[in-house]
Structure 1
């Protein structure tokens, strides 16, 4: 019989954990500890590369700023920030792109594709698509005149996506503030976080499809929202007439749609919110106080928005992940396509 010291047991336990981590590789858990400067040694130009792509695309299409910023919301709420929303459908999987809140609404996927392609040129297989979404959202806000902040990185990309999960979780523009407050609380996000992050609608546009509910059938009453500013209603009536209007026509989300500022909150105070999910923030007591505070203080809004984006970015699924080489497909499919291409070429020779 032999004895084993506590130190020896500890050493072998540490060795076992270390080997497990090594063998996990890119398919290990996606809930690795996030930190600032994650790519400082493995891909030091990662953040500037993403910044350059966002800046270039905003010059070409100013609306792309709001589009790529929205990706963080639509990705992180559905099973954590893992770029699941970027996956295309496959014969065996319905992804999130055509879910109720995403289909016909999300755009500018090609901006993320471009950032990923550029990163694959300089440091292949290093930077995750999930981290690109987080960086792109920050840069879109910054280049729209909003605040800057340091992002924590180190996420993995999911191996799957779920249209059902997106349908079950993501709210529609018809949602009211009470529904949104309950949703945010499920993710340990406060009423202040809800109002501050709703300030993302400081930039961008919405389709008439998302507005006519408030304009013509508030709460199923067949009547417009009584809180709507009369002059603003006349403006929307012209842009989104019913029943013969074009529901794809876009409407500014606030009075300064290309500038990230606190005008969004001033508009809500004056009954000029475009979406039901926006304007009801001013009618619910728990959220109204923050709308009023942010309408008076842009600096306070910026500080709360940054904190909210960081908290949102901390949401992780805990599922296995990888660093995708192409944000639209998992690596196994990319490898399969390459192998198939080689086989076809071989069969022709």
Structure 2
């Protein structure tokens, strides 16, 4: 997410908090529950250039988030219980589900102890390649390369892009531009360009994956915890909408079977990589349903309502953003008010 979007997001959350809209509109906006999305959980090491900072929270904020959920009356439930809660006609407290993407080792080192102490269930979505010690954490490679370079020159299609990256501000411009352009284009181009940049500065992509992601032995130990659900995050973490249907089907179905074989537990849930409308859509939702998943989650923001019982392979999530680790932001997000306002704006724009 670009810096200006972060600032706009922060301004909106502050306005909701200042007007107390998160309290008086909550009954209309909250819905039945929420699925929260996390990535890294680890102590923060300050650094001036950290464009992926929004994917990282501290163990203390994870503790504060769960404590807040409990204090606000949320039932924290496993992913397995979501379909029944959405279909239920009984009056329930709102529910929350805790999900973690990519299978980072810090989830085991820092998140697991917090969640075990607080006695709450959670779900880890695993990428087969990452657990095998290979694949590309390309968004991290891009950050690392730009951090080291004073000048970035790349070719995208027929266009030569040149960035001076001596200052932190210049590095952010280069990262935001390249990240946006790469995600919008062919994945082959993305991976080729990232590989070129990584080779230029001496990044070993497999070592990066092995250092950051849990391996199968570690995941097997985690899977023995009855409060932990292991889900799929596909075989290779692709932008599936950029690929043929056969590739998307393989990523969704074969990852399900491979994880189940490795860990000896059924795999009932999947998180689409990237998960935005440009990365996963109706084709992927249908493939997940046909592959036997009970639920599938996106990164499209929003709360869950009864209507989502008919959309179980297209569920929205709320990203817990590392740039906004405070109770006011958390309260606004969990109220559902930001998303109700976006829906109202969208209807107005279409009128």
TM-score by length of 2: 0.23
Greater CA radius of gyration, 1 or 2?
1
Structure number having the greater strand percentage = 2
